[in-house]
Structure 1
Amino acid sequence: MYFGKKNSEEPEIIMEDTIVYACGSADCNGWMRKDFASENYDCPMCGSQLVEEVRELPKIENEYNAFK
């Protein structure tokens, strides 16, 4: 079978500094973007306290926050 060549033009991934909440426990590597976090600042995986930090992540649009 022949599937042809894939489109070689990939969309450019834009990286930006993003505020995230990371788990403070050394045994857990859970984190979430601030835009998607609820007001509960406990890690959903282990229950430890979340700490705010900045990471360079791909830019995504959060349409939910546009309607707040």
Structure 2
Amino acid sequence: MAYFNNQKEPVENVETNVWSCVNDDCQGWMRENYSFEKEPTCPPICHSEMKKEVRVIPEMK
């Protein structure tokens, strides 16, 4: 939905459970509900282990 003068509707940030890569040289992460594995590895970058954490990111609708 667009507002007057082509301003876009603001996106709300929410706390979201994510998987975050444990490798200090890697910044890979993904939303928890995007993985079918119980404990995924970092697929796109380094294939290291990942840990659960909570981030404040834009809500997906």
Asked whether the two chains share a fold, i.e. TM above 0.5, the reply is yes
Tell me the residue number matched to 2:36. 38
Q: Please, which runs of 5 or more residues in structure 2 have no aligned partner?
A: none
Moved over 4 A (4+): none
Report how many aligned residue pairs link the two structures.
56
- The percentage of counterpart residues that share the same residue type is 34
Q: Provide the TM-score with structure 1 as the length reference.
A: 0.72
TM-score, length of structure 2 as denominator length: 0.80
Q: Where in structure 1 are there 5+ consecutive unaligned residues?
A: 1-5, 62-68
CA distance in structure 1 between the partners assigned to 2:53 and 2:10 by the alignment: 25
When Rg is computed on C-alpha atoms for both structures, the one with the higher figure is 1
CA RMSD of aligned residues (A): 1.7
